[in-house]
């Protein structure tokens, strides 16, 4: 993808997903802007373009893509189509019935796993889920997201030995404001 293609994709995501108003984030912080990732995840054409671009960012040696509930699930499914890698779907908590598993789909034990998220703000859920996956035997040192809001997530993940790579940062999307 050329720089022009990347800029165009950032512009489309910014236009499609950026909402203004008053929003309470997962961290509890109140923001005047929100990136509604479900708007690009629900658009098959746009999600496919995002996944194609993300595929180039998957580190060599990755054995499993792990999408976090809920927004990371469509992203990881689309990304798996582009990479051919198996996917695990990671719940926030293990279900109390059936298989009672935290991670459904591909087995993560003993495998090099890339955690995939849609939007990272503080990195809190990625840190929690990575810890849980590591307890299951996953080897994790990297995470990939579509949008990094650049509000401490990179640093929080680095403190846990995880390098975050983002398709777009908040600055990339801010640059698309007309």
Q: Which residues pair with 120 in a beta bridge?
A: 148
119 among annotated binding-site residues: yes
Residue 122 annotated as binding site:
yes
Peptide bond between residue 70 and the one before it cis (omega within 30 degrees of 0): yes
Please give the DSSP secondary-structure letter assigned to residue 132. H
170 is in an annotated binding site: no
Tell me if 64 is assigned to a ligand binding site: no
| Residue 178 assigned to a binding site | no
116 is in an annotated binding site: no
- State yes or no: 115 annotated in a binding site: no
124 annotated among ligand-binding-site residues: yes
Total number of residues shown for the chain: 178
Output the CA–CA distances (angstroms, integers) from residue 107 to 77, 100, 160, in the order listed: 15, 14, 22
Contacts with 154 (C-beta within 8 Å, 6 or more apart), sequence order: 120, 123, 148, 164
Neighbours of 113 (CB within 10 A): 28
What are φ and ψ of residue 87, in 5° steps? -120, 145
> Is 58 annotated as ligand-binding?
no
Rounded Cα gap, residues 87 and 68, in angstroms: 11
Q: Which of 25, 1, 2 is nearest to 124 (CA)?
A: 25
- Report whether 123 belongs to an annotated binding site: yes
Q: Which residues belong to the annotated binding site?
A: 26, 91-92, 95, 117-125, 149
Q: Which residues belong to the annotated binding site for orotate?
A: 121, 149
Q: Which residues belong to the annotated binding site for 5-phospho-alpha-D-ribose 1-diphosphate?
A: 26, 91-92, 95, 117-125
């Amino acid at each position: 993808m050329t720089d022009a293609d990347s800029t165009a994709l950032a512009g489309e995501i910014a236009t499609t997903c950026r909402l203004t108003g008053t929003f309470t984030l997962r961290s509890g912080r109140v923001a005047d802007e929100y990136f509604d990732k479900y708007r690009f995840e629900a658009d098959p054409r746009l999600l496919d373009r995002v996944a194609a671009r993300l595929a180039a960012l998957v580190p060599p040696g990755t054995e499993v893509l792990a999408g976090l509930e809920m927004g990371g699930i469509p992203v990881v499914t689309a990304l798996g189509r582009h990479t051919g890698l198996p996917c695990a779907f990671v719940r926030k908590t293990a279900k109390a019935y059936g298989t009672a598993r935290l991670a459904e789909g591909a087995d993560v034990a003993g495998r090099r796993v890339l955690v995939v998220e849609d939007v990272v703000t503080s990195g809190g859920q990625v840190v929690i889920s990575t810890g849980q996956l590591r307890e299951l035997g996953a080897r994790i040192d990297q995470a990939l997201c579509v949008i990094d809001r650049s509000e401490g997530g990179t640093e929080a993940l680095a403190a846990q030995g995880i390098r975050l790579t983002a398709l777009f940062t908040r600055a990339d999307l801010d640059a698309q404001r007309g």
